[in-house]
Amino acid sequence: MRRMISVAAAQLGPISRDDSRASVIARLLHHMRSAHAKGCELVVFPELALTTFFPRWIIEDEDELDSYCESEMPSPDTEQLFDEAKKLGIGFYLGYGEIDRAEGRKRRFNTAILVDGNGRIIHKYRKIHLPGRAEPDPNYAIQHLEKKYFEVGDLGFTAVRAFGGVLGTCICNDRRWAETYRVLALRGAEMVVLGYNTPTRSFWEEHENPLSDFHNRLSMQAGAYQNCMWVVGVAKAGIEDGAGLIGGSCIVAPTGEIVAQCTTREDELITADCDLDLAAGLKQNLLNFEVNRQIDAYRPITEQAGITPPPEE
C-alpha cells in the first residue's frame, strides 16, 4: 500500500512590528482551515511565524525582546491553533521564539514544533545553524542578530514517526547545510519540513541578492534528491517594516523536482500529495546508504568545522 502524506505549505506575507498576535493567529487559522478543506493532514508554517522577523532590529530592552517570544507552548495566544488542530484533525509545524527557564537561567531559542492531529506536541527542534552577527554592525541599516538573541539549539537533529511516515524538522539557515539533511536522513526522515525568513539582501551586503531565490531552491532540491526525501520549505515573505523577505515556498519531491511552489509574496497556500515511497528505487540502489556510504572517508565532517587546505609549497 502506498504511504501518502497530504501536506500544505502555508506561506505568510509580511507581519509588521505592531501587528497583534491575535491578527497573526487569525491568518494561521485561516490557512489551517483552507488546508483542511483541501484534504491535508499537515500544514507547515514559517520560521518565527507569530511575529515580524525581529532579529533585523537592534533591541536592547529585554522585555521588548521577550515580547516576541513564547514562555510556554501552547501559550494563551496560540491555544486556538491547538484547539483547531484537534477539531479538524490536522497537524502543524510552527516556528516561534522560545524562552526557556530550565536550570534557573533564561535562554532564548529559535524553535519549531510539530503538533499532531490530536493537538499534541510530538516533536520539538531548536535551530542549530544561527546566521548573522552576535553584535550589531553600525555599517548596516538592517541587522541580522540571531546570534545575539538566540542560543544554538541543544536538541540535535531528530526525527519522529508521524502522519504515517518519519518526519524531520529544521529551520531556515539549516536548509543550506548538507549535514542537516544527511543527519535527518540517517535518522530515517522521509520528509523534512522547515520554515524560513530569508532577507532579499544578504546580511553582509547593502544591495539585493539576485541569487537569493535560486539558492533557496537549490539548497532544498539538492537536500531532497541526495537524501531521497520530501522537503517542504515555507517562507514568511514580502516587505516587513521596509525590509524585504523572499517567498518561493515550495514542496520538493525526492527526485529533486519542485511539485508545488508559491508565486506571490503574500499569504498563500500550496498543497501536494506526497508518496513517501516515491524514492524507494533510488534508496535501495544508487543512493543505498548502508551499501555505499564510506564513513571512514567522512571523518573531517565531524572532526573539524573550518577548512584546512594542504600546506603551501
Interface positions with ligand CDV (CB under 6 A): 47, 131-132, 144, 172-173, 176, 196-199, 203
Residue the block writes with cell 554592525: 137
The residue among 54 and 196 lying less far from ligand CDV, judged by its C-beta, is 196
What is the C-alpha to C-alpha distance for residues 208 and 56, in angstroms, rounded to an integer? 15
Q: Least distance from C-beta 171 to ligand CDV, angstroms? A: 7
Please pick, among 47, 70, 98, 268, the residue that the annotation labels catalytic.
47
Please pick, among 40, 69, 172, 274, the residue that the annotation labels catalytic.
172
The residue among 132 and 223 lying less far from ligand CDV, judged by its C-beta, is 132
The residue among 239 and 280 lying less far from ligand CDV, judged by its C-beta, is 239
**Taking the CB of residue 223, how many other CB atoms lie within 10 A of it?**
27
Q: Least distance from C-beta 48 to ligand CDV, angstroms? A: 8
- 290 as an active site residue: the answer is no
- 127 as an active site residue: the answer is yes
- 257 as an active site residue: the answer is no
The residue among 133 and 187 lying less far from ligand CDV, judged by its C-beta, is 133
Q: Least distance from C-beta 164 to ligand CDV, angstroms? A: 30
**Taking the CB of residue 167, how many other CB atoms lie within 10 A of it?**
29
Question: What is the Cα 81 distance to its own chain's centre?
Answer: 18
Q: Least distance from C-beta 38 to ligand CDV, angstroms? A: 27
How is residue 75 written as a grid cell?
A: 501559550
Is 151 in contact with 107 (CB distance < 8 Å)?
Answer: yes
Q: Least distance from C-beta 281 to ligand CDV, angstroms? A: 32
What is the C-alpha to C-alpha distance for residues 204 and 128, in angstroms, rounded to an integer? 20
The residue among 35 and 44 lying less far from ligand CDV, judged by its C-beta, is 44
Please pick, among 70, 127, 146, 190, the residue that the annotation labels catalytic.
127
Q: Least distance from C-beta 277 to ligand CDV, angstroms? A: 30
What is the C-alpha to C-alpha distance for residues 22 and 194, in angstroms, rounded to an integer? 23
Question: What is the Cα 21 distance to its own chain's centre?
Answer: 20
The residue among 153 and 199 lying less far from ligand CDV, judged by its C-beta, is 199
- Residues catalogued as catalytic: 47, 127, 172
